[in-house]
Structure formats: structure tokens, C-alpha cells
Structure 1
Amino acid sequence: MAVVILVVFPDIQDSDTNWWDWFKAKESYPAPLTYAKAVQRAGPAVVNIYSEEIQNNLTYLRAPRRVTRLGSGVIMDADGYMLTNYHVVQNAAQIKVDLQNGQEFPAVVIGFDVHTDLAVLKIDATNLPVIPQIADQESFAGDVVLAIGNPLNLGQTITQGIISATGRTGLSSTNHLQFLQMDAAINEGNSGGALVDTNGVLVGINSRQFKGVNPQLDIQGIFFAVPYQMAYKVMRQIIENGKVTRGWLGVGGNSESISRDPKGFVITEITPEGPADLAGLRINDIVTQIADQPFTTIVNALDLVAETRPGTVLNFKVYRNNKLIDIPVTIQEKRED
């Protein structure tokens, strides 16, 4: 074959071409790992938010000063509803929203929820890009996630990490609210932005960085986000009612107050004149079921109660003095401190 080629193409002998390379198999490489499609799907729905607060100057005869806060937001609806963190727009006199296509809009606060640090904004626009969403979306430790926002006003930026843990509590004044913990970096300006999976689907609203009690402790890679399911419920309630209404039971417990036989959680505290007290629940009662649903932890039970409309009667199955009894409890609206 080589002789034939030399006869047909005699110039090859005088050229610098290494004709033997023609017979070598060409090297192939796998396609590079990329999250570009996820960013292309979700990025246009993540906005920059600038809020301006007018603070009174404590110095005599000094004019009030204007303080600008930087944050991000997520377009949840094509007609202009978006989610962000409440601390981004708290006490704001003016709010400006910048879309990724360069458009600017003034925004108004429809409502907010202090416990989840979420706020719903509205701009006067239609046909907006909407973040991809899945109604029954669920996240697991180990999932790869991307945080999209505007850190330090550098422009839209993507950071990547994994979900480190789910169900983190103790991050708000209502301990039963559960958050996502991840190591995708969240800096000033990222707050209120989108946490998405590798398909660009929204999994949470970026919220905060972990702050240790000891300022000398160098803490890295611990950030939190409000899970999508929780954020969506908060948004719908704010849009429909102007506020978030949560059910309240008025009991207390801890992770150690678990009964193995029978399975349930032990009530260790009861708020005087609260729903549990008025219904006749007592300290040391073991709650095994609420509305025919078994429970072993008080956190899960309080989640059910929080999502129950105030005024609803829930039947509690309780072990007391080695007897199983039914106690109907009328859920009340959660008291604001």
C-alpha cells in the first residue's frame, strides 16, 4: 500500500509531511464536564437587586444618610413575582431590579416572612424568563449544586459545590424550619439568588453564611439555603394572603425526648393557655400520632402543625399512664414574638 501511495503521490517523498501519520488512529477525548446548559436555563431568571434605606443620622443637624444594600433575586413567575431574602430589602425606601438583559425596573415588596428570611417582590413586567421548577423537587446530601447571584456587584457569577446536609434547624426563630447546607460559596450580593441542580432546576434560595460564635475561628464552606418546597409555599401564601400564616401547638421537646416503646415523642414543655394546654395535653405525654400520621420526632410533628390552617382540629393519639387516649386539639395561629 505504501508503494502504491508513493507512485500515485510522488511529491510526498519531497514534502515535510509525515505520511505515516495518515495511518495512525486519531486520539479521541470524552466531552468535557460542563454545567453550561444549567446556567443557560437558570441564569436569565436570576436578577440583581439594589435596595436603598434612608437612615436617620444620630449626629445633630446632620442629614439622613442613604444606605444601599446589594442582593440577588429569582424570577418565579412570568408576570413579575420574584423571591429574595428579606434582609436584602428590609426597611427599603426604594428597590431597583436589574435583569440580565440590561432592563431595569422599580420593585415593590408584596410581603415577607421573618422566620425564613424570605420576601416576595413584584415588578411591572410580563413575559419574563422564569427559573425552571419541579413541584415535587427533593434534594439529598451529595447532590451537585450551583449558586447563582451577584457577589460584590461583580455581575452574575456561578459557584459550584454539593449539598452537605439537609434538614438543618436552629437557623431561625422557629426551630422546626429546615434548611439546606451546602459548600457553594455565598458572599455579599449572593443573598436571595438561586441554588440550582445540574439541570438548572431551582432547589433553593441562597440565604446566609454560617457565622461562628468565636470570631477568631476561620469557618469555610458552610452556607445555607431555603429549600425550594418551603420557599414556594411561603411565596404562595404571601401572594394570596399578604403574609404567612402558620399553625401553632404550644408544646416543646428536644431530640432526646423520644419514646421507643411506644414509639413517639415526649412533651417536655407546654405553653400556658396555648392550644395544647387548652386541649388537655400534659407534660410527659407521649404523642404517637397526629391526624392518623405516626410521629417519632417533635420536629416533624411541628412541621405538620405549622402547615395546618389555624382553626383546624387535629386528633392526637397520646399514651398517658399506660393508656392510649385520643385528644382533639384546635390549632391556633402562631404567635409572633
Structure 2
Amino acid sequence: MLQDGRRYEALLVGSDSLTDLAVLKIDPGNLPVIPINNARAAHVGDVVLAIGNPYNLGQTVTQGILSATGRISMSTTGRQTFLQTDASINRGNSGGALVNSLGELIGINTLTYDKITDGETPEGLGFAIPIELATKIMDKLIRDGRVIRGYFGIQGKEIIPLRSSNSGIDRLQGIIVTEITPNGPAGNAGFHINDVITNVDSKPAISVLETMDQVAEIRPGTEIPVIVLRDGKRITLKMTVGEFPEDSN
């Protein structure tokens, strides 16, 4: 149902459970389009409005500010970033617009953090998916009907850059492998626990989040070079990117 009361049967083009986003198609014609300005970055302190339909009470608008950008997902995947706002985002607001003071869409409301700690329920912790990510997901859903993500098959953590006189490397920086999925892409390519990944597909591996996002954008089945440091020696492994399993979210 549209805001003016018109009702249409919607076609589900595709959905993505990892980001909780979906694309619906209707054919009313001449619908207004909310402006998006990718050239204008969202900043902490920006005034924002969260639009939604909490508890089916009808369209509701709440005001707040951006408290943080680039918040890491609190899900088990840990590979998603959010905008954080103190604008009230209640149940039912998921999928609504988060707009700036110019009416430009900057995010899609997704959740509120209501975990009780020490008997207290935190307030003013709402989250939205940045519009850059939402647009990327939308394009993939329209193209493929689902989001096809590349998959590495490891768990890891960043290492602090250190000087290493033994290896002759001025600054040792990368991702140390802490876990390898059995029969996954990395396992099949010959990765070892405690390997230090320094380069993935010709790009430096600095952050776990950025590297996993990089691999997620690579089409499954593509072979890529990965440089690792093992026992003080650089080794180039050829890895065939897998497809991110649906049950990993």
C-alpha cells in the first residue's frame, strides 16, 4: 500500500537475508523518487530523520543525529557496517528511510540495540544500512535475483605493524589466519593456521573487514593470487574463490 492509500500486488525481485534487504516491484507509474547524493558523505553529528511504520501505527518520523559511521555488524559474520543514530528506530521501522536534513536518502533503517546489560536497557542505539551498501545490494538483486558473494573460508585478525629484522621486511602488516574452514577455498588452496596474509588479488591485506569485503565482490569460481608469510618466507597461493554459504549469516 502506498502513502496515498493505493494498493498494488508486489513482485519479489529478490531478497538478501544477510543484510535483511529485498527488492519489490510494482507498476503504478510516475512514482516520486527519493534523492540520493553519493557525493555528500554522512558525518557524525549530522541531523537525520528516521521514517517508518512502527507497530503498524502508520507513518512515523523521528529526529536525531548520526552518532557514528562504520559501526561493525554485531552479527556472527561481523562483516557489515552500519550507521548509528539516536533517532528512535522501533520494531516496524525496518526498511524505512533514514534521510539527512536535505531530504536525501543516506540509509535504510534496520534494527535497534535493545540488549539488557546489568538490568538496564540502552536507549538511543538505532542502526541503518548505509545507502552505498544498500544500492550495491539492490543492483545485485535486480541482476541475479539474489546476492552472490565470494567466500574466503578463513577467520583471522589484524596484526600490528612491526619491524622484522630477521625477514628483512621493514613493516610486517597483514592478517593472521586463526581458523580455516574444512574443504573451503582457503583450505583447498593450502593455507595454514598462523599464515600471515599480506596481499589478496594484488591488494594489500590490512583489515579483515576490508579483505572479506574485497573477496565478497569477486565472482565465485575466479582464481586469485594470495601472498602469505610463512616461517619468514613469502609464498604465493592460488585460491579459487568460493560462494558465501547461505547458512553462514
Does 2:31 correspond to 1:121?
no
Write the letter of the residue equivalent to 1:260. Answer: P
1:225 matched to which residue of 2?
Answer: 128
Instruction: Give the match for residue 191 of structure 2.
Output: 281
Distance in 1 of aligned mates of 2:175 and 2:160:
6
Higher helix share: 1
With over 3 angstroms needed to count, the CA separation of the structure-2 counterparts of 1:133 and 1:251, relative to structure 1, is: same
- State whether structure 2 residue 46 is matched by structure 1 residue 143: yes
> 240, 243, 246: which one pairs with 1:330?
240
C-alpha distance 283-247 of structure 1, shift in aligned 2 (>3 A):
same
Change (3 A) 1:137 1:283: farther
The 1-side partners of 2:135 and 2:31 are apart by 18
Cα distance change, pair 223–314 in 1 and its aligned pair in 2 (3 A) = same
**What amino acid maps onto 2:54 in structure 1?**
P
Higher relative contact order (CA 8 A, sep 6+): 2
CA contact (8 A) 2:114 2:123 kept: no
For residue 258 of structure 1, the aligned residue among 147, 159, 175 is: 159
Q: Per-residue displacement from partner, 1:154-202 (whole Å, max 9, x unpaired)?
A: 4333211122122223433422111111111112332211011122111
Give ranges in structure 2 of 5+ residues lacking alignment: 163-171
CA distance in 2, matches of 1:289, 1:122: 41
Deviation of 1:137 after TM superposition, in Å, equals 5.3
Deviation, 1:203, is 0.9
Q: Residues of 2 paired with 1:312 and 1:138: CA distance?
A: 33
| Cα distance per residue 1:117-150 (max 9 Å; x no partner) | 1111111221111111134554332222111122
C-alpha distance in 2 between matches for 1:143 and 1:123: 33
For each residue in 1:213-242, what CA deviation from the matched residue of structure 2 results, as whole angstroms up to 9, or x when unmatched?
Answer: 559422100011111111111111111111
* TM-score, structure 2 normalization: 0.88
User: Structure 2 vs 1, CA of residues 140 and 317 (structure 1 numbering), >3 Å: closer, same or farther?
Assistant: farther
Q: What letter corresponds to residue 124 of structure 1 in structure 2?
A: D
The TM-score with structure 1 as length reference comes to 0.66
Report if the CA contact (8 A) 2:114-2:121 is conserved.
no
Corresponding residue to 1:131 among 6, 23, 34:
34
Alignment coverage as a number of residue pairs: 238
Structure 1 stretches of 5 or more lacking a match? 1-96
2:34/2:104 contact within 8 Å kept: yes
Q: Quick check: 312-321 or 222-231, which moved more?
A: 312-321
Partner residue of 1:190 out of 85, 93, 114:
93
AA aligned opposite 1:160: Q
Q: Work out the CA distance in 2 between the residues paired with 1:174 and 1:235.
A: 20
- Does structure 1 retain, via aligned residues, the 8 Å contact 2:91–2:111? no
For the Cα contact (< 8 Å) 1:208–1:224, is it kept in 2? yes
1:112–1:243 contact (8 Å) kept in structure 2: yes
2:81 aligns with: 178
Larger radius of gyration between Structure 1 and Structure 2: 1
Supply the distance in 1 between the matched residues of 2:239 and 2:38 (Cα, whole angstroms). 31
| Match of residue 58 from structure 2 | 155
Paired amino acid for 1:290? V
Residue identity opposite 1:285 in structure 2 = D
Cα-Cα RMSD:
1.9
Is the 8 Å Cα contact of residues 148 and 219 (structure 2) preserved in structure 1? Answer: yes
Structure 1 residue 314 displacement after superposition: 2.0
